[in-house]
Amino acid sequence: MSYRQRLVCSVLVVALVAGTAFGAAPENPQEGRGSFLLQQIPLGIWYGVGTSVCLSGGLGTKGQVAVGLLSASAFYFGPLALVWNRPMSHAQAHLAVGCGYRGIAAGFAFGDLFDVGVRHHGSPYYYESYDVRPRMGLMVLTSLGSQVGGYFLAREMSLGQATLVTAYSDFGWSNGLLAALAGASLGGPTKLAPYFLGGLAVGTTAGWLRQRSWECTEGQVTFVRTASFLGTLLPLGAIYALTGVPFEYSDADHFLWLAPLMIAGNVGAVYGAERLVREAPLSTGEGYITLGCTVGGALFGAGLGWLVTNENSDRLMRPVIGLGTLGALGGLTLGFRLTSGWEPAFSAASRGDDAWSRLHINTGELAGAAAGLVSGNGFSAPRLVVFEF
């Protein structure tokens, strides 16, 4: 089929889809439709590029650009036609679009896992030849399938529950990549795809199971996501500020123990944040306030770090990273303190309804240990942290 024939077919598809979409007025306008279609525009453009690449053989530059633009248009009007008379909640809009973006990465990972479009020669990432067209096609199909799956998966969810699924999905694939770093330090270069796909699958499944038992709000999920990000980076920031590892003293072996610490920080932060906001139904705006205060606190701490550091020192970035991390923790605390959820969460802890109320830090023990450290007797604080069962 010549490129002119393909162009004619593309125009006919767009015309048919547009005619179907606007053939009848919707009987019951749905709240999430507008949000979904707006967020569909970037995905549609990406699908158009992917389609153009897949059909690039023999089209020429003019034909390839035209097919890309027409396909991008079709990938907008097509979903418009499909959801015009169907229920589309904000939860379905969020999860459909969120799964669509993650499906792009999953498609690339599947292609890498099964060597789609490549022929190996030598090391795992040195290719004798590479054809991007089948890889792009797989990414488009995986993303479209993920969108459909996300739409149907979110039928009974609230917006908060849908955002919890995508948050857990991100927790999963990021921890999977951290596990890949630890694996690489054990056996040399390795593919990231199995770790990414495994983490994505585990995280998405865990999010789906978690949302079934928690009627959370979008603001609560934003707080949990922010806390998890800090929990992941806290071991890295603290260790680098104190020792210079792994950036000043770089060694792949460091990630053998550093990556598990970061994964543990992520899991612990998610657990703690969920327990903290369990009695605090934060609004969407309040969730953004905690996020903004966290970023502002990190910037404030990093600014102080620049003031106290020596520009000629080899350890220039240590106080910046260290104080920036502490500032982010302080900003998250301040942001949560400013929300209406602080009082219910604090009351739950004072009643003993929350697990954190059983955790006690002995400040006197900490002061004594600090004095011992200064006097050269070492650091010893056996009863610094006590948890009541």
Residues 111-164 have pLDDT tens digits of: 988 888 877 655 665 666 678 889 999 999 999 999 999 999 999 999 999 999
Whether 243 and 336 map to the same domain: the answer is: yes
pLDDT, position 137: 92
Please state the domain count of the chain: 2
Residue with tokens 């610490």: 261
Write down the pLDDT at residue 21: 38
Quote the pLDDT of residue 309. Answer: 82
Q: What range defines the domain where residue 225 resides?
A: 217-344
Low-confidence ranges of the chain (pLDDT < 50): 1, 3-29, 355-356, 373-374, 379, 389
What's the confidence (pLDDT) of residue 16? 36
Residue 58 DSSP class: T
- Is 317 among the domain residues? yes
pLDDT of residue 365: 60
- Look at residue 124 and tell me if it is in a domain: no
Give pLDDT, residue 383. 62
Residues 383 and 321 in one domain: no
Residue 340 and residue 221 share a domain: yes
Closest residue by Cα to residue 94 from 171, 150, 168 = 150
Whether residues 316 and 382 share a domain: the answer is no
Q: Is residue 61 part of a domain?
A: no
CA angle 205, 76, 22 (to 5 degrees): 120
**Within this chain, do residues 277 and 308 fall inside the same structural domain, yes or no?**
yes
pLDDT mean across residues, the chain:
81
Q: Which amino acid is at 292?
A: G
Determine the pLDDT at residue 184: 75
> 386 and 336 in one domain?
no
Look at residue 30 in the predicted model and tell me its pLDDT: 73
Report the C-alpha gap between 288 and 209 in whole angstroms.
Answer: 25
Instruction: Tell how strand 385-387 and strand 127-130 pair up.
Output: unpaired
pLDDT of residue 159: 94
Let me know if residue 135 belongs to a domain: no
Count of residues for the chain?
Answer: 389
Find, among 251, 57, 236, 88, the residue nearest to 157 by Cα. 88
User: Are both 279 and 366 inside the same structural domain?
Assistant: no
pLDDT of residue 198: 95
For 70, residues 6+ apart whose C-beta sits below 8 A from its C-beta are 7, 10, 11, 14, 48
